A and B are shown apart, each in its own frame.
Chain A
Amino acid sequence: DSGVTQTPKHLITATGQRVTLRCSPRSGDLSVYWYQQSLDQGLQFLIQYYNGEERAKGNILERFSAQQFPDLHSELNLSSLELGDSALYFCASSVGLQGNTIYFGEGSWLTVV
Protein backbone atom coordinates (compact mmCIF):
# COMPACT_ATOMS: atom_id res chain seq x y z
CA ASP A 1 0.00 0.00 0.00
CA SER A 2 1.56 3.29 -1.19
CA GLY A 3 -0.55 5.46 1.13
CA VAL A 4 -2.13 7.35 -1.79
CA THR A 5 -5.91 6.90 -1.75
CA GLN A 6 -8.12 7.32 -4.79
CA THR A 7 -11.90 7.20 -5.14
CA PRO A 8 -13.91 5.90 -6.86
CA LYS A 9 -12.10 2.74 -7.99
CA HIS A 10 -14.48 2.21 -10.89
CA LEU A 11 -16.83 4.58 -12.68
CA ILE A 12 -19.10 4.12 -15.68
CA THR A 13 -20.69 7.17 -17.24
CA ALA A 14 -22.20 8.35 -20.52
CA THR A 15 -20.68 10.56 -23.18
CA GLY A 16 -21.13 14.25 -22.52
CA GLN A 17 -21.22 13.81 -18.75
CA ARG A 18 -18.89 15.19 -16.09
CA VAL A 19 -17.12 13.24 -13.35
CA THR A 20 -14.85 14.07 -10.44
CA LEU A 21 -12.02 11.84 -9.28
CA ARG A 22 -10.65 12.30 -5.80
CA CYS A 23 -7.18 11.75 -4.36
CA SER A 24 -5.73 11.86 -0.87
CA PRO A 25 -1.92 12.01 -0.91
CA ARG A 26 0.36 10.21 1.50
CA SER A 27 0.56 11.82 4.89
CA GLY A 28 3.06 14.68 4.74
CA ASP A 29 3.24 14.85 0.94
CA LEU A 30 2.67 18.32 -0.51
CA SER A 31 2.90 17.46 -4.23
CA VAL A 32 0.07 15.74 -6.09
CA TYR A 33 0.26 14.52 -9.67
CA TRP A 34 -2.38 13.16 -12.03
CA TYR A 35 -1.61 10.63 -14.75
CA GLN A 36 -3.72 8.94 -17.42
CA GLN A 37 -3.05 5.37 -18.54
CA SER A 38 -4.56 4.04 -21.75
CA LEU A 39 -3.62 1.21 -24.08
CA ASP A 40 -2.70 3.47 -26.98
CA GLN A 41 -1.05 6.38 -25.11
CA GLY A 42 0.52 4.55 -22.19
CA LEU A 43 1.14 6.44 -18.94
CA GLN A 44 0.91 10.19 -19.51
CA PHE A 45 1.44 13.06 -17.10
CA LEU A 46 -1.54 15.41 -16.85
CA ILE A 47 -0.90 17.97 -14.13
CA GLN A 48 0.93 18.65 -10.87
CA TYR A 49 -0.02 20.65 -7.80
CA TYR A 50 2.21 21.64 -4.91
CA ASN A 51 0.73 22.92 -1.67
CA GLY A 52 -2.39 24.13 -3.40
CA GLU A 53 -0.79 25.72 -6.43
CA GLU A 54 -0.52 24.41 -9.97
CA ARG A 55 3.16 23.74 -10.74
CA ALA A 56 3.32 21.88 -14.04
CA LYS A 57 1.05 20.88 -16.89
CA GLY A 58 1.42 17.94 -19.20
CA ASN A 59 -0.94 16.59 -21.83
CA ILE A 60 -4.10 17.67 -20.08
CA LEU A 61 -7.12 18.47 -22.25
CA GLU A 62 -8.98 21.76 -21.81
CA ARG A 63 -12.06 19.73 -20.84
CA PHE A 64 -10.13 18.47 -17.81
CA SER A 65 -9.24 20.51 -14.74
CA ALA A 66 -7.84 19.84 -11.31
CA GLN A 67 -7.35 21.50 -7.98
CA GLN A 68 -5.64 20.86 -4.66
CA PHE A 69 -7.44 21.89 -1.51
CA PRO A 70 -6.03 23.32 1.76
CA ASP A 71 -6.11 19.84 3.32
CA LEU A 72 -3.93 18.76 0.35
CA HIS A 73 -6.42 16.37 -1.19
CA SER A 74 -6.93 16.83 -4.91
CA GLU A 75 -9.73 16.41 -7.40
CA LEU A 76 -9.56 15.85 -11.15
CA ASN A 77 -12.64 17.03 -13.03
CA LEU A 78 -13.38 15.53 -16.43
CA SER A 79 -16.17 17.15 -18.44
CA SER A 80 -17.90 16.68 -21.81
CA LEU A 81 -16.66 13.12 -21.67
CA GLU A 82 -15.89 11.25 -24.87
CA LEU A 83 -15.42 7.54 -25.51
CA GLY A 84 -11.69 8.14 -25.85
CA ASP A 85 -11.48 9.41 -22.28
CA SER A 86 -11.99 5.86 -21.02
CA ALA A 87 -8.78 5.08 -19.15
CA LEU A 88 -7.16 4.49 -15.80
CA TYR A 89 -6.50 7.73 -13.96
CA PHE A 90 -3.74 7.66 -11.37
CA CYS A 91 -2.96 10.08 -8.64
CA ALA A 92 0.57 10.19 -7.26
CA SER A 93 2.23 12.17 -4.51
CA SER A 94 5.65 13.17 -3.25
CA VAL A 95 6.99 15.12 -0.30
CA GLY A 96 8.21 18.14 -2.22
CA LEU A 97 9.22 19.39 -5.62
CA GLN A 98 12.73 18.09 -6.02
CA GLY A 99 14.53 14.85 -5.53
CA ASN A 100 11.64 13.03 -3.91
CA THR A 101 10.21 9.62 -4.65
CA ILE A 102 6.81 9.69 -6.36
CA TYR A 103 4.25 7.18 -5.08
CA PHE A 104 1.17 6.13 -7.05
CA GLY A 105 -2.32 5.25 -5.93
CA GLU A 106 -4.31 2.27 -7.18
CA GLY A 107 -6.13 4.31 -9.81
CA SER A 108 -9.68 5.15 -10.84
CA TRP A 109 -10.96 3.16 -13.79
CA LEU A 110 -13.23 5.35 -15.94
CA THR A 111 -15.42 3.84 -18.63
CA VAL A 112 -17.34 6.18 -20.91
CA VAL A 113 -20.21 4.54 -22.80
Chain B
Amino acid sequence: GENVEQHPSTLSVQEGDSAVIKCTYSDSASNYFPWYKQELGKGPQLIIDIRSNVGEKKDQRIAVTLNKTAKHFSLHITETQPEDSAVYFCASLLYSGGGADGLTFGKGTHLIIQP
Protein backbone atom coordinates (compact mmCIF):
# COMPACT_ATOMS: atom_id res chain seq x y z
CA GLY B 1 0.00 0.00 0.00
CA GLU B 2 0.85 3.68 -0.10
CA ASN B 3 3.51 5.05 2.26
CA VAL B 4 4.04 8.76 2.97
CA GLU B 5 7.24 10.04 4.57
CA GLN B 6 7.24 13.55 6.07
CA HIS B 7 10.20 15.70 7.18
CA PRO B 8 11.13 17.32 9.44
CA SER B 9 9.23 16.10 12.49
CA THR B 10 9.84 19.44 14.24
CA LEU B 11 10.57 22.81 12.63
CA SER B 12 11.30 26.00 14.53
CA VAL B 13 11.46 29.28 12.59
CA GLN B 14 11.57 32.97 13.50
CA GLU B 15 8.37 34.93 13.02
CA GLY B 16 8.38 36.43 9.55
CA ASP B 17 10.65 33.76 8.06
CA SER B 18 9.57 31.01 5.69
CA ALA B 19 8.89 27.38 6.57
CA VAL B 20 9.14 24.38 4.25
CA ILE B 21 7.82 20.89 4.98
CA LYS B 22 8.56 18.01 2.62
CA CYS B 23 6.81 14.74 1.87
CA THR B 24 7.46 11.79 -0.39
CA TYR B 25 4.99 9.12 -1.42
CA SER B 26 5.46 5.61 -2.74
CA ASP B 27 2.52 4.90 -5.06
CA SER B 28 3.08 6.63 -8.39
CA ALA B 29 -0.65 6.30 -9.11
CA SER B 30 -1.61 8.63 -6.24
CA ASN B 31 -3.21 11.74 -7.66
CA TYR B 32 -4.44 13.96 -4.83
CA PHE B 33 -2.26 15.56 -2.16
CA PRO B 34 -3.83 17.63 0.64
CA TRP B 35 -2.17 19.38 3.55
CA TYR B 36 -3.88 19.62 6.93
CA LYS B 37 -3.18 21.81 9.95
CA GLN B 38 -4.04 20.46 13.38
CA GLU B 39 -4.14 22.63 16.47
CA LEU B 40 -4.18 21.19 19.95
CA GLY B 41 -7.52 19.59 20.78
CA LYS B 42 -8.94 20.10 17.30
CA GLY B 43 -9.46 18.07 14.17
CA PRO B 44 -7.27 18.37 11.06
CA GLN B 45 -8.17 21.41 8.98
CA LEU B 46 -7.50 21.43 5.24
CA ILE B 47 -5.25 24.35 4.31
CA ILE B 48 -4.36 23.58 0.70
CA ASP B 49 -4.43 20.70 -1.73
CA ILE B 50 -3.01 19.85 -5.13
CA ARG B 51 -3.93 17.36 -7.80
CA SER B 52 -1.47 15.45 -9.93
CA ASN B 53 -2.20 17.43 -13.09
CA VAL B 54 -0.88 20.61 -11.42
CA GLY B 55 2.71 21.39 -10.44
CA GLU B 56 2.14 24.27 -8.06
CA LYS B 57 -0.71 25.95 -6.23
CA LYS B 58 -0.70 29.08 -4.09
CA ASP B 59 -3.15 30.58 -1.63
CA GLN B 60 -1.93 33.83 -0.04
CA ARG B 61 1.04 32.89 2.21
CA ILE B 62 0.73 29.16 1.57
CA ALA B 63 1.94 27.26 -1.48
CA VAL B 64 2.32 23.61 -2.41
CA THR B 65 4.58 22.15 -5.10
CA LEU B 66 4.40 18.69 -6.61
CA ASN B 67 7.09 16.75 -8.45
CA LYS B 68 5.44 13.63 -9.83
CA THR B 69 8.66 12.23 -11.24
CA ALA B 70 10.34 12.32 -7.85
CA LYS B 71 7.08 11.48 -6.02
CA HIS B 72 7.68 14.47 -3.81
CA PHE B 73 5.52 17.38 -2.64
CA SER B 74 6.21 20.30 -0.34
CA LEU B 75 4.37 22.90 1.71
CA HIS B 76 5.75 26.44 1.77
CA ILE B 77 4.57 29.02 4.30
CA THR B 78 5.93 32.55 3.89
CA GLU B 79 5.92 35.45 6.37
CA THR B 80 5.14 33.08 9.23
CA GLN B 81 2.98 34.33 12.09
CA PRO B 82 2.45 33.02 15.65
CA GLU B 83 -0.93 31.55 14.63
CA ASP B 84 0.88 29.30 12.16
CA SER B 85 2.21 27.26 15.09
CA ALA B 86 0.55 23.83 14.85
CA VAL B 87 1.13 20.30 13.60
CA TYR B 88 0.99 19.97 9.82
CA PHE B 89 0.19 16.72 8.03
CA CYS B 90 0.67 15.85 4.40
CA ALA B 91 -1.42 13.11 2.84
CA SER B 92 -1.94 11.30 -0.42
CA LEU B 93 -4.93 9.67 -2.05
CA LEU B 94 -5.55 7.66 -5.16
CA TYR B 95 -8.81 8.56 -6.91
CA SER B 96 -9.81 6.07 -9.58
CA GLY B 97 -12.92 5.25 -11.55
CA GLY B 98 -14.34 3.26 -8.68
CA GLY B 99 -13.67 5.84 -6.04
CA ALA B 100 -10.87 6.04 -3.55
CA ASP B 101 -9.52 4.53 -0.37
CA GLY B 102 -8.80 6.72 2.60
CA LEU B 103 -6.05 9.28 2.89
CA THR B 104 -2.57 8.04 3.80
CA PHE B 105 -1.00 10.54 6.17
CA GLY B 106 2.56 11.45 6.98
CA LYS B 107 3.65 11.44 10.63
CA GLY B 108 3.27 15.19 10.98
CA THR B 109 5.52 18.22 11.46
CA HIS B 110 5.33 20.30 14.61
CA LEU B 111 5.88 23.87 13.40
CA ILE B 112 6.97 26.33 16.08
CA ILE B 113 7.03 30.04 15.29
CA GLN B 114 9.49 31.86 17.55
CA PRO B 115 8.53 35.50 18.36
Contacts and interface: CB of A to CB of B under 8 A. Distances in A.
Contacts of B108: 42-43
A76 to B, nearest CB: 14
B95 A98 contact: yes
A90 B43 contact: yes
Nearest to B51: A99
B101 A56 contact: yes
Contact of A107 (B43, B46, B89, B102): B43
A30 to B, nearest CB: 11
* Size class of the contact patch on chain A: 20 to 34
Contacts of B32: 99
Q: How would you classify the secondary structure of chain B's contact residues: helix, strand, loop or mixed? A: strand
Nearest to B43: A104
B44 A97 contact: no
A106 B43 contact: yes
Interface in B20-64: 32, 34, 36, 42-46, 49, 51
A48 interface: yes
A44 B63 CA distance: 25
A43 to B, nearest CB: 4
Contact of B100 (A4, A44, A97, A104): A97
Nearest to B98: A97
Contacts of B107: 42
A99 B94 CA distance: 10
Interface of B: 32, 34, 36, 42-46, 49, 51, 89, 95-96, 98-108
Across the A-B interface, the 3 shortest Cβ-Cβ residue pairs: A45-B102, A97-B99, A104-B43
28 contacts: A2-B43, A2-B45, A42-B105, A42-B106, A42-B107, A42-B108, A43-B103, A45-B102, A46-B102, A48-B102, A56-B99, A56-B100, A58-B101, A97-B98, A97-B99, A98-B95, A98-B96, A98-B99, A99-B32, A99-B51, A101-B46, A101-B49, A102-B103, A103-B46, A104-B43, A104-B44, A104-B46, A107-B43
Interface of A: 2, 4, 33, 35, 42-48, 50, 55-56, 58, 90, 97-99, 101-107
